[in-house]
Structure 1
Amino acid sequence: MRDLDYVAAVTATTGGGGALWLGGIAVPNRRLVLRWLRRQALRLADGHGRDLPPASPWLRARDVPQIIFHGSDAPEGLRAWAGDEGRQAEAIGALESGRPALLTVVDPAVGLHVTLAGWPVGPDRPLATRVRHLCSPP
């Protein structure tokens, strides 16, 4: 089995600084990172009172749990990012060049920040350091 070269994570932080790990995945290529992040963005944006799509069948990837947003800013931001081909191309380009792909949306009513992040895993920087750095509160 080959080593996995990319990871993705979804985290939430509150205004008080409390962080919650919602989920993550390790995959062999950047397209699967982006595919998983887009799916999570749409699930989070569309998960309020609607029927959610079934769990992802590929790579036994788990979906993140739903979050209750108190306004429309965060869901609209997630939907806009997931549907914008230009922003998707930027994310793929960042991953290809060894940089992280990040999106943070804010629910201003409660100070909730939701971050979707994907990054390449390399021998020059331990995974734990990358996760702490990328998913810390803004």
Structure 2
Amino acid sequence: MRDLVYVAAVTATAGGRAVWLGGIAVPNRRLVLRWLRRQALRLADGHGRDLPPASPWLRARDVRQVTFHGSDAPEGLRAWAWAGDEGRQGEAISALERGLPALLTVADPAVGLCVTLAGWAVGSGDPPPLHLREEN
């Protein structure tokens, strides 16, 4: 098996505190983007109801649910996930190709909640932002 060289993570921040919602390590940038898109859609589609069932894909664990109080954050997640390679998805792949992190942050202004989806290459020299590191 090849070494895993890309990771993705989803966090939520509110009131200066970060909460780890989930993450994954995969062998290439396309799988990072695929997983992030799935999580964006799951979180957006779970707005106001239970999340869809977990995926058996690559034995990947899906992120924990977040309760949004407005529709801005779910709509932002949905718009990013469906952007296609012509738009923001292409920008994310390009960033990963250059060794930069791919980031998306959406806000729920009603309660000051921010959800960040990020993917980056392991060993790219740039560690993930502090709020994306898992708390112990």
Fold conserved between structures, TM > 0.5: yes
TM normalised by structure 2 equals 0.89
Please state if 1:6 is matched with 2:6: yes
For 2:107, give the aligned amino acid: V
The answer (yes or no) to whether the contact 2:47–2:67 under 8 Å persists in 1 is yes
Alignment correspondent of 2:63: 64
Residues 1:31 and 1:38: Cα distance change in structure 2 (over 3 Å): same
Give the deviation of 1:135 after TM superposition. Answer: 2.6
Alignment correspondent of 2:72: 73
The answer (yes or no) to whether the contact 2:100–2:124 under 8 Å persists in 1 is no
Residues 1:93 and 1:134: Cα distance change in structure 2 (over 3 Å): farther
User: Equivalents in 2 of 1:48, 1:123: separation in Å?
Assistant: 34
Deviation readout 1:51-87 (Å, 9 max, x if unpaired)? 6433211211000011110000000000000011111
The answer (yes or no) to whether the contact 1:117–1:134 under 8 Å persists in 2 is no
Alignment correspondent of 1:90: 91
Structure 1 moving runs of 4+ over 6 Å: none
Residues 1:52 and 1:124: Cα distance change in structure 2 (over 3 Å): closer
1:62 match: secondary structure: coil
Deviation readout 1:18-70 (Å, 9 max, x if unpaired)? 11000000000000000000000000001034564332112110000111100
Unaligned runs of 5+ in 1: none
For 1:135, give the aligned amino acid: L
User: Equivalents in 2 of 1:23, 1:118: separation in Å?
Assistant: 12
Spell out the pairing of 1:99-110 with structure 2 (5 A cutoff).
99-110=100-111
Give the deviation of 1:121 after TM superposition. Answer: 0.7
Unaligned runs of 5+ in 2: none
Note the aligned Cα RMSD (angstroms).
Answer: 1.7
For 2:132, give the aligned amino acid: C
